[in-house]
Amino acid sequence: MNTWPLFEVFIRSKNGLDHKHVGSLHATDAKMAIENARDVYTRRQEGVSIWVVESNLIVSSDPAENESLFDPAQDKIYRHPTFYNLPDELKHM
């Protein structure tokens, strides 16, 4: 049982929204992972669609590189589009 691979589970809560990561689980293969995800993560009507992916297939950034990757964005507030005067007629921006 400990040798069952780990899968990451992504649930779409309703049509039109993105799949969001909700957690992980063990299963022998992708098919079982979908069924397990259905039973573990959608029993309170959390979703309308499930994605699973084997955890070891995910490539992630290295936390040791966080400073060089993310800190340089800190002082570049002009990248947020908050400096424009918007006409009143324009809603939902």
Partner 1 sequence: MDNSDKAIFDFILIHADNSLILGQRLGEWCGHGPVLEQDIALTNIALDYIGRARLLYQLAAKIENNNRTEDDLAFLRDVMDFKNVLLVEQENVDFAYTIVRQFLLEAFNHPFFNQLINSQNINLSEIAQKSIKETTYHLRWCSEWLIRLGDGTELSHIKVQTAVNNLWTYTQELFKPVESEIEMTKQGICPDLQLIHKIWNETIDRVFLEATLIKPDSVWMQNGGKSGVHSEHLGYILSDLQFMQRAYPGLEW
Smallest distance from partner 1 to CB 36, Å: 4
Measured CA to CA, the distance from residue 7 to residue 56 in angstroms comes to 8
In the numeric block, which tokens belong to residue 47?
């979703």
Q: Is residue 50 a contact residue for partner 1 (CB under 8 A)?
A: no
To partner 1, the closest distance from the beta carbon of 53 in angstroms equals 16
Give residue 72's identity as a one-letter amino acid code. P
Summarize the chain as % helix, strand, coil (round to 5): 30, 25, 45
Residue 51 makes contact with partner 1 by CB under 8 A: no
Is 53 among the residues that bind partner 1 (CB under 8 A)? no
Measured distance CA(77)–CA(10) in Å, rounded: 32
User: Residues touching partner 1: how many (CB under 8 A)?
Assistant: 14
| Site track for partner 1 across 10-49, x = CB under 8 A | ---------------xxxx--xx--xx-xxx--x------
Q: Is 80 in the site for partner 1 (CB under 8 A)?
A: no
DSSP code, position 74: T
